[in-house]
Amino acid sequence: MPSRNRPFFVLLTCAVMLGSHSAAAQDASRYWADSWRGWHFYEAPAPEEHELPLPPGKTTATTPSTQAQRAPELLEFERLQKTLEETRNIAIMRPSEANVRRYMELESQVVARASHFADIAQRVAWATPQLDPTQQGRPVNAKALEVFEQIELADRSRAIADLGKDHVLFFFYRSDCPYCHAFAPTLAAFQARHGIQVIAISVDGGPLPSFPNARPDNGIATTLKVSQVPAVFLAQPFTGKISPIGFGVLSESQLLERIATVAAPQAEAMQTTTTQGLALPPEAP
């Protein structure tokens, strides 16, 4: 016997031996517990249980009449599934060349059936746009994806322009932060292109070339728990509602996507930061 198979057979033998030992121990325990009956005690066997007859017209789930009502394709599929499983189990337990070949041949037939089904499903999808996943949501074709992104960009830009009527972006920065200096021109261009005001707030009181009218922090950064800069928040001043957009350097497309997501009506219940009554930092003199 190969040494690599020894642990398995040792465990199997131990399991069988333990099972036999346990059964013998239970028999002995039962005898000593009932020793008062004596060796020649006779006990009548328990009466056999008989199933109650079913009402007329009703059959159990396993009766031939129920099996006959099922589609023959389902019965054939179950037989194939059971045969494949049994053939695989036999090949695992007895991995001879014949057993493994029989399982592989049957598995090949199953794969061929599945491939044939996939081909037909694909043709049906091509002929039925409602069932074609490539026609739903984001396109997969490169040219179509380019058009989709252009349309999406225009729609989001219009939505943010409408949002800019009563919303602003808070931009928290530090004058000694190189990432803030790199991100500031993107925000300035975003403000000019999409029509939403950006209010720059200096955490350390220092200036920023892209936002010469930046306001000094009046404690709002601590209230909003701004621990990292650059940081962008979407705010609605007249309600005091403020929601985080992101930290770090963001691209224009990321800003568009995140602002649209946060401002969506269904996002109201998922706001992570909603603060009422915050006072805005005063404008720089």
Structure confidence by residue, pLDDT tens digits, 95-154: 999 999 999 999 999 999 999 999 999 999 889 888 888 788 877 788 888 888 888 888
CB 213 within 8 A of CB 181: no
Structure confidence by residue, pLDDT tens digits, 47-97: 655 555 656 655 555 555 555 688 999 999 999 999 999 999 999 999 999
CB 168 within 8 A of CB 200: no
Model pLDDT, residue 133: 81
Structure confidence by residue, pLDDT tens digits, 176-191: 999 999 999 999 999 9
Q: Is residue 94 part of a domain?
A: yes
Q: Is residue 258 part of a domain?
A: yes
Structure confidence by residue, pLDDT tens digits, 236-277: 888 888 999 999 999 998 998 899 888 877 656 555 554 544
Domain boundary among 87, 110, 135: 135
Residues 122 and 173 in one domain: no
Domain count, the chain: 2
- The arrangement of strands across the sheet holding 215-216 comes to 215-216, 197-202, 168-173, 231-236, 241-247
Which tokens is 28 given?
């002995």
Residues 173 and 253 in one domain: yes
CB 108 within 8 A of CB 93: no
Residues 192 and 99 in one domain: no
Strands (E) across the chain are located at: 168-173, 197-202, 215-216, 231-236, 241-247
Q: Is residue 109 part of a domain?
A: yes
Domain that holds residue 167: 145-270
